[in-house]
Chains A and B, each alone.
Chain A
Amino acid sequence: MKKHNTFCSMTTTVLKALVVLLIVTSCEKTIELDVKQTAPQVVIEGLLTDKEGMQYVKVGQTVGFYTTGSTPRITDAMVAVSDDEGERMVFEHNPNDHPDSLGYYLPDPSYKGEIGHTYTLSVTIGEDLYTASDKLLPVTEISALTSEINDEEREYLRENNIDGPIERERYHEVFLFAEEPQERKDFYLFKFYRNGQVLRDDDNEIYVVDDTSLGESIDDIPIAGFFAPREVARVEMFSITRPGFLYYQDLTNILGNDGGMFSPPPANPRSNLSNNALGFFQVSAIAVSTFVIP
């Protein structure tokens, strides 16, 4: 079962309706594209928050469209973040020497940002310097998470003979409540987890929202997925800047592009990084809430 997604913009709703139509009347097949060879490009993914332990910078590269395997990570970059008061924090490559964390740079010692400050990331790879700045904006608190049985989903699980001991009980929907401050302009990014695992309605879904058309109370917003009793739902709500919102919106668009028929021609997301690097340096305040399904 597919859920409504408030967190994606309404424009994608329109395009999705079109895709629904297309699927009704169309067929498809896999084809081989004669793609052009291009030099690898640098990809930087940075996160700096107001909570300790939630900062990292990941540096990697692009590969050819048909190249298989994980994309290469860059492990010998020089990474540092400085704030608007001139304080500079060096990020070390994989300080814990974790084999899965190649290409990840972490602050050492631990570090956190403060609301209202602007942070600048600099990444030096060989001769090339890549920089980006973003501002740490306040986030509104999550006032509550609640859950309710979703009858349609229960029916769906029954009809489809889902019989895993936990899976067949995953028909509880979790709802989010928050107050949206009307006096300031806000953008939010949401991440949902079930028992610590990222949860999305679709692999390509990104949950960002612009408060322009939002009223004061955000009540009863269903989060992604369904839960079984005793499972843990976790919601992370990030404050993001407008460039951050646009980055994630662009990322959603390229992930769901129809090839430029009804949607615009696919384009790389607008990054805040200099020197043509791909990716984004995101600075956020975080509100976190967890909830155990009764």
Chain B
Amino acid sequence: MNSQNQIMLRKLSLIIYILLALGSSTALAQQKFTLSGYVRDAKSGEELIGVTVYQPLIKTGVLTNTYGFYSITLPEGNYQLQFSYLGYEQVSKDIDLHQNRELNIDLSGNIQELSEVIVTDEAIDANVSALNMSRNKLDIQQLKKLPALLGEPDVIKMVQLLPGVISAGEGTSSFYVRGGSADQNLILIDEAPIYDPSHLFGIVSVFNADVIKDSELYKGGIPARFGGRLSSILDVQTKDGNNRRLGGVARLGLLNSGLMLEGPIKKEKSSFILSARRSNIDFYQKIAKEDNTVSFHDINAKVNWKPSNKNRIYVAAYFGRDVFDFGSDFGFDWGNKTVTLRWNHLFNERMFSNTSLIASNFDYGLTLVDPVQGFEWVSELTEYTFKEDLSYFINPRNELSAGYHVTYRKFSPGIIRPNDSNSIFKETKLQGLFALDHALYIGNQQKVNEKLSLKYGLRLSVFQNIGAGTVYTYADRRDNINIQRIDSINYDGFENIKTYINLEPRFAARYLLGLHSSLKFSYNRMVQNTHLISSGTVPIPFNTWHPSSPHLKPQLADQLTLGYFRNISNNSVELSAETYYKNMENVTDFADNASIFFNEDLATEFRQGRSWSYGLELMARKKEGLLSGFASYTWSKTQRDISGVNLNRTFFANHDRRHVFNVTAAYELNERWSLGGNFTYSTGRPLTIPAGRYEYGEGYNVDLITERNGYKLPPLHRMDVSATMTPKKNGSRKWKSSWVFALYNVYSRQNPFTVYTRLRQDEDGNLLGDGTEKEARLIYLFPILPSITYTIEF
């Protein structure tokens, strides 16, 4: 270990010491007791995340953590505590606190009741009072009422509307956060990473809205417990299953249908949830007597067991697959599989632990059935993670968290196998790549005084590229034409090839300017050791991932964010303005004309460099009332400077878009009808277009390229509307039905997807002019599209 790393470790141990000292000194000062417990949904028993537990007299509050658990330590006395949560009735409890106590609270949802919406004065002002910035919670209930592409409510499509987020284009599941590329988002389902969130190349994402309990996007001020990607964390948690009664949702849509069932296994003690979706497209294709079939399906399952109030265990699994068959001779498929085993344990009122074992797998395959040219191509990525996270509620002013995570990753970039004995192909395999990724973190959330709160932490990332494998040394690593391997070293299984150690400081501060406004600041450094090998704008499922290695350095990002937050109209409207600057080093890019598929010398294609992004994000959100929704505007600029790309000149990143404006709103018209709408506008994406052309060989007419991303596509804008009808007779039935009617792209705007060039020709393909002329063709995807979705809840 070199001296720099030792200094880092010494710094880390000093900070741990200070944090511990801080905790013990204040804890000893006074006779205090701790009240703790879980907050749950009264109907389903589902634990609620982020519920405000507030004591109005001494103006002290805490939030329930990701497990629905809260802990508040107060001086001995009598208190009134308020429990409030968006979309739920507020509950007040009188507590005599003369000893450590446990108190579990059930909150009733008021989603269906339109009349009584309680807006509390301070407890619900999290926009201003919470430390979080650059963080957006997604409202799943509202999502289901909003117009969706082909009628399928999709969390990722909502993420794409948030400030600071840019979408690659319509019908994609890729998103870009604050200048980061698509692979710099850590997408989690019950803590397990999803490597490709798309179904049907992105028209739908892997997230089934019927099973999502909570989803949140972190764009900045990222807590120390998260790491591994540069730009964002999309943390999706599925429901635990109703532990009080059997229920479910059946959904019949245009694109796909689904069924969700949940219920108790043993009442109040254990529950399950099972949900499956399947696309209907191949059904229509059969009717149309088409040879091609396209389908996807996915399954979410979870079993939740609570042996005691101190222990909770769940096993959650996701399995999804897309299958495309073109006739009987060509096809491909891909899918994600994840399993999470999680154990929450309460050591005492103030110490909470979460232990997880996680497995995740992504694979794709491509098959050509042909007696001569038949082959099968498969690629796979598997990882196993162990995580131990601890929370320690030192006192109402300090909440300490610490943990250790370790992941083993195995990358199998590709195997090509002949699938017929007469095939001209022979079996060819790229060598596997392996990595061990350790992280140790500690952080504290501290309330300094009434106005100032801080959150600070450190994450130590120790990444190892390990064997088995052979590492080549090249005469010139960046020469991808005349590749000269000058040396090779063989490594055994688990033998260390290369270690990268990085220290990631995290810091956030909130300063209250008054009752209704605050200033927030955050800084975070992130490190990414898993790189996506993709050179297009939108990653496709056939892209592979690669660990940091002797030839590929970890990507680093430093981000500074400053924000002003204000609530108006009794906290019913939240306003925020955030500005950020992000500098990214060793951003992974590829040489012009890189061969990124099936390349044994992929290292010669890596080009790493600097990228930087800055922007301003404005957001207004109305959470409650007849009209709810948000509007966001983002101005941003993202550039790259990568040696060996674009003749070493600075260029705009593929996902640079100057202006993005989004509005999404729902309006409760009456008991039967509610309306929803989206409007989105964004500057077109940068595009590389030819400056000239030339003739070559036997009649090839070739474009001349002079610079990368020097042109912008026309702007994208679109409006979608929806109406949700809940029939009146629902009131007397045991089950409730609803219809969602939606129109996507109301004014049928021809939104640009991409531009390609060809010889100038008419609709039938006959060349026009003298046969040498070229033209540019704009591809646009979706015209106005109606959809109907029928849902039954029981």
Contacts and interface: CB of A to CB of B under 8 A. Distances in A.
Interface of A: 4, 6, 9-11, 13-14, 17-18, 20-22, 25-38, 40-41, 43, 45, 60-71, 191, 198, 203-204, 206, 212-221, 242-243, 246, 249-251, 253-255, 257-270, 278-279
A238 to B, nearest CB: 12
A10 B597 contact: yes
A221 B542 CA distance: 27
Contact of B425 (A40, A214, A263): A214
Given A28-B778, A215-B426, A260-B537, A34 B366 contact: no
Given A17-B326, A213-B375, A242-B483, 20 more contacts: A22-B779, A27-B783, A28-B778, A33-B755, A36-B706, A63-B693, A65-B703, A66-B774, A68-B773, A204-B700, A213-B426, A216-B426, A220-B371, A221-B424, A251-B702, A254-B703, A255-B702, A260-B687, A265-B688, A278-B696
B759 A45 contact: no
A244 to B, nearest CB: 10
Determine which residue in B377, B418, B482, B691 has the highest number of CB atoms from chain A within 10 A of its CB, and name it. Answer: B691
Nearest to A37: B691
Nearest to B706: A38
B381 interface: no
A29 B700 contact: no
A115 to B, nearest CB: 20
A262 B172 CA distance: 11
B759 A203 contact: yes
Contact of A65 (B332, B370, B418, B690): B690
Interface stretch (B453-461, B707-715, B719-727): B707-715
Contacts of A60: 694-695
A242 to B, nearest CB: 7
A67 B372 CA distance: 44
Given A17-B324, A261-B536, A10 B424 contact: no
Nearest to A191: B698
B424 A214 contact: yes
B776 interface: yes
Contact of A4 (B373, B481, B542): B373
A220 B704 CA distance: 37
A176 to B, nearest CB: 11
Interface string B768-781: 01101111111111
12 contacts: A11-B598, A38-B706, A60-B695, A65-B691, A69-B770, A71-B695, A215-B425, A217-B424, A243-B482, A259-B688, A269-B702, A278-B696
A264 B593 contact: yes
B253 to A, nearest CB: 17
B553 to A, nearest CB: 21
Interface in B529-546: 535-538, 540, 542
Contact of A242 (B481, B535, B703, B708): B481
Interface in B738-769: 750, 753-757, 759, 769
B370 A4 contact: yes
B638 to A, nearest CB: 15
Nearest to B428: A213
Given A264-B593, A266-B703, A220 B708 contact: no
Nearest to B709: A265
Contacts of B689: 33, 35, 65
Given A69-B772, A242-B482, A262-B536, A36 B777 contact: no
A21 B696 contact: no
Nearest to A180: B424
A254 B689 CA distance: 11
B643 to A, nearest CB: 16
B703 A220 contact: no
A216 B759 CA distance: 39
B654 A220 contact: no
Contact of A70 (B371, B698, B772, B778): B772
Interface string B480-507: 1111000000000000000000000000
Nearest to A279: B696
Contacts of A250: 593
A253 B597 CA distance: 13
Interface in B630-672: 654
A252 to B, nearest CB: 10
Contact of B754 (A36, A43, A259): A259
Contacts of A35: 689-692
A61 B581 CA distance: 44
Nearest to B690: A65
Contacts of B330: 17
B110 interface: no
Interface residues of B, number: 88
Nearest to A29: B778
B592 interface: yes
A267 B372 contact: no
B696 A251 contact: yes
A26 B692 contact: no
Contacts of B596: 11, 264
Nearest to A278: B694
A251 B700 contact: yes
Contacts of A41: 692, 694, 704
Contact of A215 (B171, B424, B769, B781): B424
B55 interface: no
A255 B416 CA distance: 26
Instruction: Indicate the member of B704, B714, B773 with the most A CB atoms within 10 Å.
Output: B704
Contacts of A264: 535-536, 590, 592-594, 596
Contacts of B750: 27, 29
Contacts of A70: 695, 770, 772
Contacts of B775: 30
A255 to B, nearest CB: 6
Contacts of A61: 694
B757 to A, nearest CB: 8
A68 B769 contact: yes
B755 A259 contact: yes
A21 B541 CA distance: 14
B788 to A, nearest CB: 19
B711 A261 contact: no
B547 interface: no
Contacts of B709: 265
B626 interface: no
A268 to B, nearest CB: 5
A57 B525 CA distance: 55
B536 A36 contact: no
B696 A259 contact: no
B697 interface: yes
B3 to A, nearest CB: 41
Nearest to B590: A264
B595 A249 contact: yes
A68 B276 CA distance: 57
Given A32-B776, A64-B691, A270 B481 contact: yes
Contacts of A17: 324, 326, 330, 332
Highest count of chain B CB atoms <10 Å: which of A30, A71, A260, A270? A260
Interface string B148-188: 00000000000000000000110100000000000000000
Nearest to B535: A264
Contacts of A21: 201, 324
Contacts of A204: 700
Nearest to B712: A34
Contacts of A68: 769-770, 772-773
B246 interface: no
A14 B542 contact: yes
Nearest to A33: B776
Given A38-B706, A68-B770, A250-B593, A20 B426 contact: no
A26 B753 contact: yes
Contacts of A4: 368, 370, 373
Contacts of A242: 481-483
B695 A18 contact: no
Contacts of A62: 692-694, 704
Contacts of B598: 10-11
A269 B594 CA distance: 11
